[in-house]
A and B are shown apart, each in its own frame.
Chain A
Amino acid sequence: MSAALAETPAGRVFHALGDPTRRAIVERVSRRPLSVSRLAGPLGITLTAVAQHLRVLEGCGLVRTEKLGRVRTCRLDPEGLTLVSRWADECRSLWERRLDRLGDLLAEEN
């Protein structure tokens, strides 16, 4: 994936789901909300590692976490994969890049 696409909202979702552990987290919380420690157990990774993955997933809107009492619960964010609704933003940045490439092309011509 190019750097330009990686910086778009959809690109961040693609990047987040490129990691097998994060895909496993998304799949598990899509069935029901889970605490961080219950998430970490079967994945065989530390709570710190889970927290890092959750930050990535929260950052691109795929997963939401909330603290209830002493337990942090993770759930799927139904808004997160509106890849298509992100198309409005995608369109604009796509055209920004196209017009820049048009400028590059014109600059090459003499």
Chain B
Amino acid sequence: MDLSATHDTFVLERTYPKPPDRVFAAFADPAKKRRWYAEGEHAAERFELDFRVGGIERQLFRLGENTPFPGTAITTEGRHEDIVPDRRIVISSTMSLGERRISTTLATFELVPEDGGTRLVLTHQAVFYEGADGPEMRKGGWEKLLDQLGAWLEE
């Protein structure tokens, strides 16, 4: 089995016309964070947030009927590693597809006051496990897909 791990880093920036305390609140308040983080194209089936250093964030959603893996759960479990009010939030988290871990990421959110608003800088560092690129996962993915294709075609 190929145990290669692949790494990826990206940086995103946004400027919001609201002061840092308002942006910070959108990370600290579970109801607010759920709205921008866990809703959207897929509404999360479950979202829990314990906003303190060491506090856990959990998200679960399921792939829809019109996907190759309907009903499969995608879960993300994160831990708040560092919180500096109105300035910085660091979250490490692991994403899994079904039982298989896909990736672990370190997301650093820096809030910089700027002209009465806030510049948010997200540095997203990820390691994708052998499942992400290895032939075993590729083969496994195909086998599973083809099994499901077969089932669909027999219906």
Query: Which positions in A face B, CB cutoff 8 Å?
Result: 1-2, 4-5, 13-14, 17-18, 20, 23-24, 26-27, 30, 76, 78-79, 81-85, 87-88, 91-92, 95-107, 109
B35 within 8 A of A: yes
Residues of chain A contacted by B150 (CB below 8 angstroms): 27
A81 touches B128 (CB 8 A): no
B14 touches A99 (CB 8 A): yes
B138 touches A82 (CB 8 A): yes
B126 within 8 A of A: yes
Which of B46-54, B81-89, B129-137 is found at the contact surface with chain A? B129-137
> With A2-B41, A88-B8, A106-B16 as given contacts, are A81 and B142 in contact (CB-CB < 8 Å)?
yes
The residue in chain A whose Cβ has the minimal distance to the Cβ of B27 is A102
A101 touches B41 (CB 8 A): no
> With A14-B66, A26-B149 as given contacts, are A95 and B12 in contact (CB-CB < 8 Å)?
yes
B73 within 8 A of A: no
Q: How far is the CA of A91 from the CA of B126 in the complex (A)?
A: 9
Q: How far is the CA of A96 from the CA of B102 in the complex (A)?
A: 20
Task: Pick the contact of A101: B40, B120, B142 (CB < 8 A).
Answer: B40
DSSP majority for the B interface?
Answer: mixed
B126 touches A81 (CB 8 A): no
A–B Cβ pairs within 8 angstroms, 17 of them: A1-B67, A4-B40, A76-B142, A82-B137, A85-B6, A85-B133, A87-B128, A91-B103, A92-B10, A92-B12, A98-B40, A99-B120, A99-B122, A101-B39, A102-B36, A105-B26, A105-B32
Q: How far is the CA of A96 from the CA of B40 in the complex (A)?
A: 12
The residue in chain A whose Cβ has the minimal distance to the Cβ of B130 is A84
A102 touches B14 (CB 8 A): yes
B12 touches A99 (CB 8 A): yes
B3 within 8 A of A: no
